Every structure is written in structure tokens, then in C-alpha cells.
Amino acid sequence: MRILVTGASGYVGKHVVKELINKGHQVLVVDKKNYFKSSGQLTIIKEEIFSGDPDVFNKMGKPDSMIHLAWSNGFQHNHDCHVLALREHYTFIRDMLKGGLKQFVGMGTMHEVGFWEGCIDDDTPTNPASMYGIAKNDVRQFARLLAREYGATYQWIRAFYITGDDENNHSVFTKIIGSSNAGETSFPFTSGKNKYDFIDIKDLAKQIVAVTEQTEVNGIINCCSGVAVSLGKRAEQFIHENNLSIRLEYNAFPDRPYDSREVWGDNTKISEVLSRQHQG
């Protein structure tokens, strides 16, 4: 397949591109950080995705599919940029589909749902409680309508709590590493009781690529483990796995009011995708 990846040099994008190349696809990357070098399988696109150019599909190399990962300040949940960029995302996605794109794969987040207790599936109502969640949910909705209008396959990857490559993901695990490297012996933490669906970045990349390689399973697809684990337990495990000489100082910070106490993704669809892949 000829697949365009926006945000290719970002935290998730780098792993997705590597997996696509490993699977033998022709990959087109939009790389603002000059992270990649052209090769037989990889072509670097120098065009700006948010230029507003109506001919953007041709400028992006006429891909069969697009994995749209490009996003700014994803770890700053209430930054104004999330909502201010909506018009640019709309115009880009519309013009890609209008130009001839046949498969749109968008990167979503559990933050679209907002505060929720229990399992998140396709029918879980969305009530985002951050600017990041609001913006992602808006992109999800208008991308679905645009894909329907232009007759394209629409797949929305809903990610949960991503771990791995921890020096680059700006998560609490990144901060734990930083404190340990600085010689700190304790790390201020929340209660650690909230339970989330954790997935390693390499496993997430494999799931995203598996979704893109087929079109039978579409709509919202939770890319997740399907299991909820407490943040405290996962952090303690992380400290042990990395042989860090630091302990968690529980209840130093309050839990964020918009974070769910226990939430996980329904992995029925991604399990079907992976099963089809193995059978193939």
C-alpha cells in the first residue's frame, strides 16, 4: 500500500512508520523535524499539510491511505491551540478526501469521552472535559461525515494510556526517569488508585498498521489492551523494570478531576483485526 503518515516524526508516528516499512509498504511521511531519510520505501513530503492548497492530495503524493497523526501540544490538555487548529484539520482532511483519498485513519484518544467509569466502546457517549478532548472529538465527527460524503473508508483509532519510549512521551513515566537521573530519591505522585488501559507504543503501532491494512473493520476502533491497571501499580512496575532508585510519594498531588477512576477500552474490534491478520 501507498500510505501517507502525517506527524511522522512525533512520538507515535516514528513507531508507526517503522512498522509500516517492516510490513513492506510504500510510506510517504510529512516530517517537519527532518527525522527521516529517503529510501526505497520511504518518501519525504516537503509540502505543508495546513497550507490550505485545494490540490493537497496531489501534493501529498496521491496516497491510497492516510494515517493522520499530526497534532501539536498533545500533552498539554488545555492549550488553546487544540481548538484553534480545528479549521486547519477540517480543510486538510476535506481536501484530501475530495482529491481522491480512499481510506482515512485518524488518531483519537480516550479523552474524547471525558469522565467515564468502566468500559469504553463505540456507543459510549462523548463529553470531553479538556480542550484536547473537545478538539479530537470534533475532528472525529467531521472526519466521519467527510469520509461518508466522499465515499472513503473511515477508521478512528482511539488510544488510551501509552507507555514505552518513555524519554519521549512526556508522561508521568518520563518525569520519573528525569527525577531518578537527577538523583532524586522520591517522586511526588497522585493517589495512584485510578485505573487505566495501558499499551506499549510498539504494540500500539502494530495495531494502527493492522487497522490500516484492512477496511472491513472500520468506525471507532479502540487500540488498547482491554484491561484496567492502577496507575500506582504500573508506575511501581516501571520503576522495577528500569532498576530505578526512587520511590513514589503517594498523595503529594490530587488526582485530576476530569480523569476517570477506572476506565478501559473494549478491544473486540482490534482483536478481530489482529485475528484476520494472523489468518491471512
User: Domains in the chain, ordered, with CATH?
Assistant: 2-162+198-226+267-279 (3.40.50.720), 165-195+228-249 (no CATH)
Per DSSP, the chain holds a count of helices (H) and strands (E) of: 9, 15
Catalytic residue among 35, 90, 132, 196: 132
Quick one: pLDDT band at residue 255, thresholds 50, 70, 90?
confident
Nearest alpha carbon to residue 120 among 176, 195, 66, 180: 195
What pLDDT, on the 0 to 100 scale, is given for residue 278? 77
Distance of alpha carbon 220 from alpha carbon 276, whole angstroms: 17
Matching residue, cell 537527577: 182
What pLDDT, on the 0 to 100 scale, is given for residue 111? 93
pLDDT in tens, 176-224: 999 999 999 999 999 999 999 999 999 999 999 999 999 999 999 999 9
What pLDDT, on the 0 to 100 scale, is given for residue 33? 79
Mean pLDDT for the stretch of residues 132-148:
98
Task: Of 37-41, 138-142, 163-167, 175-179, give the range with the top mean pLDDT.
Answer: 138-142
- Written as one string, the DSSP assignment of 237-260 is HHHHHTT---EEETTSSPPPTTS-
pLDDT exceeds cutoff 80 at 280: no
Between 171 and 265, where is the model more confident? 265
pTM: 0.94
What pLDDT, on the 0 to 100 scale, is given for residue 168? 79
Quick one: pLDDT band at residue 276, thresholds 50, 70, 90?
confident
- Reading the block at residue 65, the C-alpha cell is 491511505
- The pLDDT > 70 percentage for the chain reads 99
Check: CB of residue 92 under 8 Å from CB of residue 237.
no
Residue 250 annotated as catalytic: no
The helix (H) or strand (E) run that includes residue 66 is strand 65-68
Quick one: pLDDT band at residue 21, thresholds 50, 70, 90?
very high
- Reading the block at residue 72, the C-alpha cell is 501539536
pLDDT in tens, 50-69: 999 999 999 999 999 999 99
